[in-house]
Each structure stands twice: as structure tokens, then as C-alpha cells.
Amino acid sequence: MEGTSQMSPQLRMAYEELMQRIRERLEKMSNGHRQVAEFILEHYDRAAFMTAAKLGQTVGVSESTVVRFATALGYAGYPELQDVLQDTVKRRLTTVDRLLGSANGLRTEEDVLSAVMEVDAENIRLTLRDLDREAFHTAVSLILSAREVLVVGFRSSASLALFLGFNLNWILGNVKVAGFTAQDLWEDLVHLGREDVVIAITFPRYTHATVQAVAAAHERGCSIIAFTDSLLSPLSRYATVVLTARHSLPSYTDSFVAPLSLIDALLAAIGTSDKTRTSRALQKLEELWAKFEVYEKS
């Protein structure tokens, strides 16, 4: 497969295991299962972002046939098989590839509206299902005990970093968002050490500057919380804690609905950990906002 040489060993193994399972069973498959298998073998990049219903419709079988095909291969269900395909594809697709893929699969505005919102809802469901709860609680504890917190996210992830840092600083007062350019990053890192926490956010295709920042913070002894797509992310090798969220979307953009929902949960957990402190901080902010007329009067 083109691009497999650039995969991590774990990811290459998962992909090759899937293809091996299909090839070993191909001769004994029913006609319906064979149709699904042949499509995946030839068009794995398209199949990766199709629902079971859409894949079935494309090859001319029922949705239940696609689900049974996945379980016959030894997967817990179609989402688990799809995870392998998506992890393989999304690390190498360009925005042009993704745009062409969505254009081929989505023909009308109604298709787009339904598909995007259904995928967003599924991303949240799968994120909640797969979330490491212990890692989540550890992340909360690390943030609450940190001397300083630096939030790092570049390119499209900068929006998530800004939202997290902006709201977190309201109640903690020791949070900074790294500059929007990599050139500003090193000044933000230079004073950090073992008592500090770096929260790094990146999704495929991973931003090189974010990985560099995490590597540098790791060398300085910082605790690192990684917001990313999977444990195969390059952030994982440096992270103290990894929080994963789904972000796939049948379009040229990433979906940040599930990552943002996970950030909302983190903010809520931190805010309710010490309600007295949170209320006091927010009350002071309200007084300042009123004094300087930050918001329009209703």
C-alpha cells in the first residue's frame, strides 16, 4: 500500500493484520461478505469514512451484512474495523484527497447536512465509549496541582487551545496559551519545569511544531497532557496522560466537536473540584466586567 512505509510499527501491524484476515477468509466468504471484502481491498481509503449503511449501499448489500462481515473477521463490530482503516488513511491524506472523497460520496446539500451531523454525533459517542476515565481524572489532578499551565496548539488546533486556555485561566489564573506561531513557542517554554504542566493539542496530520514543543517540555521535566486522536499519536511517547477524541469527518476539514466536548468536560471537572474557589474567581470577574462594561447591558 502506498504510504505504509511511513506508518508507525503498531499501525502498520494493525492494517496488515486486517488485510491478512480478509485474504485468509476470502475464498470461503458468502457472496455478500466477498463484495464487502473486495471493496475494502481495492478502496480502503473510501471505505474508511463510510458508515456501515453507506458501505452496504455502495456494494449492494445490507447494513447488517457489513456488520456481520466485521464480526466474522474477529472484530467487536464495524466501528472497530473502521478504526483500523481510518487510522491508516487519515495520517497520509491531504486536504485535497479528503475534499475529493467527500465530493464523491456526498451529492446533495441534504446528504452533507445529515452526514456531517451524524458523524459528529457518532464521534462524541465513540469518544465517550473509548475514553480512559483514569487518565481523565489524572489530567484534572495534574492541572489543579500545577504551578503554571501552558496550552499548546497550532494551525487548526489553535482554536481548541485558545478556548481551553481562555476558560481555564478564568478560574485558575495561572494558564497561558502558547503564541500562535512556533517562533514564539520557545520563550513560553524556557521558564517551565517539573512543577508545571503542558497541555498539547494536535490531530492528524500532526503539526510538527506541537510535537517539538512536547519533546522540549518533556526534557524540562514538565508533566504533559496530550489531547489527540489515539495512543499511536507522536505526542504519546512524551505524554504523562493521553486523552483521545474522535475527529473524522467526510469533508476536507477536521471535526472538533468531540474534542471540544471533551475539553468542556475537563473544564467542568476542574470548575467543580473546588466550588468555593471557582465561585470566588468568577465573582471577581463579574465585578470587573461590570465596572468596565465588557458586555452589553440587557
pLDDT band at 226 (very low <50, low <70, confident <90, very high): very high
DSSP per residue over 129-189, as a string?
HH--HHHHHHHHHHHHH-S-EEEE--GGGHHHHHHHHHHHHHHHS-EEEPPSSGGGHHHHH
Q: State the pLDDT at residue 83.
A: 84
Yes or no: say if 247 and 230 are a contact pair by the CB < 8 Å rule: no
Most confident of 37-51, 98-112, 260-274: 260-274
Query: Is 282 in the same domain as 191?
Result: yes
Give the count of beta carbons closer than 10 Å to the beta carbon of residue 58: 17
| Mean pLDDT in residue range 44-72 | 90
CATH number for the domain spanning 67: value is 1.10.10.10
**Which residue among 92, 125, 146 closes a domain?**
92
pLDDT at 6: 42
Among candidates 10, 12, 138, which has minimal Cα distance to 2? 12
User: What percent of the chain is predicted at pLDDT more than 70?
Assistant: 84
CA–centroid distance for 52 within its chain: 21
CATH code, domain carrying 244: 3.40.50.10490
- In total, how many domains does the chain have? 2
The residue segments making up the domain with residue 31 are 4-92
Q: Quote the pLDDT of residue 95.
A: 47
Helix (DSSP H) and strand (DSSP E) numbers for the chain? 13, 5
Within a domain: 185: yes
Q: What is the pLDDT of residues 132-189, one digit of tens each?
A: 899 999 999 999 999 999 999 998 899 999 999 999 998 898 999 987 666 667 777 8
* Torsion, CA 262, CA 266, CA 268, CA 269, rounded to 10: 130
Name the average pLDDT for the chain: 82
Q: Are residues 40 and 176 in the same domain?
A: no
Indicate if 62 and 185 belong to the same structural domain.
Answer: no
Above 90 in pLDDT, residue 97? no
- Same domain membership, residue 153 and residue 28: no
In this predicted structure, the answer to whether residue 253 has a pLDDT above a threshold of 70 is: no
Give how far Cα 236 sits from Cα of 11, 60, 103, 244, Å.
14, 40, 33, 10
Domain end, chosen from 59, 92, 125, is at 92
- Put simply, whether the predicted model's pTM sits higher than 0.75 gets the answer no
Residue 116 domain-assigned (yes or no): no
Q: Measured between alpha carbons, how far is 208 from 136 in angstroms, rounded to an integer?
A: 25
Is 284:270 a contact under the CB 8 Å cutoff?
A: no
